[in-house]
Amino acid sequence: MKFDTPATDNPIDQMKVVGRAHDRIDGPLKTTGTAPYAYEWQNEVPGAAYGYVLGAAIAKGRITAMDLHDAESAPGVLAIVTAANAGKLGKGEMNTAALLGGPQIEHYHQAIAVVVAETFEQARAAASLINVDYQREQGAYSLAEQKPAVTTPPEDTPDKTAGDFDTAFVASPVQHDATYTTPDQSHMAMEPHASLAVWEGDKLILRTSNQMIAWCRSELAKTLNIPEEKVRVLSPYIGGGFGGKLFLRCDAVLAALAARAAHRPVKVMLPRPLIPNNTTHRPATIQHIRIGTDVKGRITAIAHESWSGNLPGGAPELAVQQSELLYAGKNRLIGLRLAQLDLPEGNSMRAPGEAPGLMALEIAIDEVAEKAGVDPVEFRIINDTQVDPLNTERFFSRRQLIECLRTGADKFGWHRRNTTPGQVRDGRWLIGMGVAAGFRNNLLDKSAARVHLDAQGVVTVETDMTDIGTGSYTIIAQTAAEMMGVPMEKVVVRLGDSDFPVSAGSGGQWGANTSTAGVYAACVKLREAVAEKLGFDADNAVFTDELICQGERTAPLAKAAASGTLTAEDTIEFGGLDKTFQQSTFAAHFVEVGVDIATGETRVRRMLAVCAAGRILNPKTARSQVIGAMTMGVGAALTEELNIDKELGYFVNHDLAAYEVPVHADIPEQEVIFLDDTDPVSSPMKAKGVGELGLCGVSAAIANAIYNATGVRVRDYPVTLDKLIEGLPDLE
């Protein structure tokens, strides 16, 4: 199905099932421990051996010698795979560094061996017996130290400009010029990266934890130098990804190599310390923002330049994306700068680009609003734009930022905020309120599904879409139930298998909208097959209550499959509407904090997110995504930072004991409001993504609230107490 004109009325608009709050249909499996994760297929794959990954002990250099003798002689050891005996390996297009290093080492904890043994303990013990000699080379590990030498944009990401920024900024009556930093951050998903590999002859079956089945399959085939049709990937349940499992990682490659070497199934799970250093992380940024306004606070000039680092061949963190589109202003400069660092690979983490970019931009907006003497909410409203500022002929398909801000301000009690910082006390706590705009682009990619109708009237959906804890099983079931006119109990959803049609996958906030649109397209074909089988006109028939109806005539849906299961398959392919319309999602985040006047400890007291993201397919699962994202925003604001050993080039706090993440229990009150909204330009579902929007802007709202509480402006995340304590008001 080609989607190249805005959607009109269709069966989804009935909203008998779609748009309703449904419990997650995979919930009982999760809560009873019977949902099989990648490391837990012992019943289906008995007798699996264990692989333990050895990571490089240097960040840059070469292996000069590797002695395996003691390890090979250790109890239970079946095989040891290194670059020297693995055979020739390729490298996937989405991997910056090789997934099995040696002799060249590109980053700390790059995998250099996997030891296979009968038990996990034996494999781990044997790995400790491998003796490796290195020749260490000097590396670059500090973005701040590399930044002065990086003045031009990467070749594939040129600056975006409009008007004459320099002249307009100098002429602006109100000017703001400041630099902000965000640190390296880790996904820290609850489930580690894990894979279980089995060879059946020359065919590899990989059970893994991966968000993008088709990407994983093609990249794995390329890395192993085998035909793609010889690889099957299964990932029906994933215990969190946040972008860290978008791409092929070493657990999958090493499990496959180990299983081939040991001639039996092998499971590999990365120990927690290897995850930040061996997989990917959100790169640190240094962001220079300049904003000029007229005397009434209208933006006349805006510049946002961001520096980040990565390994050779890596890409920059796209921290300026939102600044292209969020606010008006005729004179603009938007640019990225990329430094070469020898730290582990920087790549996508939940809401890449907008999440760290808004951490800086939305503080700067508050600062310039204060200089202009305009309330922060009103400042954002008067600088709203309904067109792409860099291409004013391109309108937003839907843009409800003003409504988000006004609704949130009213609901949160913004009028009670004291505009003078440091004036509100509750016992020992200084109290403050903060606001920030949320923004995330609506990304689209083709997505396919296959649907079956059997003689019992059961509709089965198959697609390689994944569920990373976001509720994909449920919203896909809701879509099929709505389209075919059956109750949810009559829908079976099968996900995460490369034998199924290729979906857009889970990532970039595109998964819900695109995967359900693919199911929609397949169901349109199945409706046509049912109508043809039973002698109805598909364009005018109504599917409801397990019946197909037209005028006075009805027939049971199941009757169409009485002589055999009906099957239909289709792909939603998006045309050029994104060239005519800018598609984005919007939010307003409001936060109240308390800061201890003696210690500088910050507590988030209450949070509100008002979101405009098209049709909300399931308010219950959507709310769960948003409050989870809000909690992640608290971590980014207050605690999360990968600390770098700048001599040795690795992340020191590489586990959940030292890398602190908040939980819902840390926040007494979280509320989410979804504005009534449908976007017919987005898809037949008229939906857009919301999971990453819930994070975008949250950290800045917290930083702004801390400033309102204390009068201390912190521009370097995380906002820890040591950055506050010297500036706190005197104790009375």
CA nearest to 301, candidates 293, 312, 313: 293
The answer to whether 387 and 584 are in contact (CB under 8 A) is no
Spatial CB neighbours of 332, under 8 Å, sequence gap ≥ 6: 160, 161, 162, 163, 165, 301, 302, 303, 324, 389, 390
Tokens describing residue 384: 């709203």
Quickly list DSSP for 428-495. TEEEEEEEEEEEEE-----EEEEEEE-TT--EEEE-----SSS-HHHHHHHHHHHHHT--GGGEEEE-
403 is catalytic: no
Beta bridge partners of 286: 181, 307
Spatial CB neighbours of 433, under 8 Å, sequence gap ≥ 6: 412, 414, 416, 417, 590, 591, 592, 705, 708
Sequence length of the chain is: 732
Instruction: Estimate to the nearest angstrom the gap between the alpha carbon of 725 and the chain centroid.
Output: 34
CA nearest to 668, candidates 607, 590, 602: 607
Spatial CB neighbours of 685, under 8 Å, sequence gap ≥ 6: 7, 12, 18, 479, 513, 516, 517, 520, 614, 615, 617
Identify the active-site residue in 317, 692, 726, 732.
692
- Angle between helix 698-710 and 354-372 (nearest 10): 40
Per-residue CA distances from 422 to 162, 247, 725 (Å): 39, 46, 13
Three-state DSSP state, 570: strand
- Fill in the DSSP letter of residue 716: B
Taking 3-state DSSP, the helix, strand and coil percentages for the chain, each rounded to the nearest 5, stand at: 30, 30, 45
Instruction: Estimate to the nearest angstrom the gap between the alpha carbon of 76 and the chain centroid.
Output: 40
Tokens describing residue 574: 């998006």
Among all residues, which ones are annotated catalytic?
692
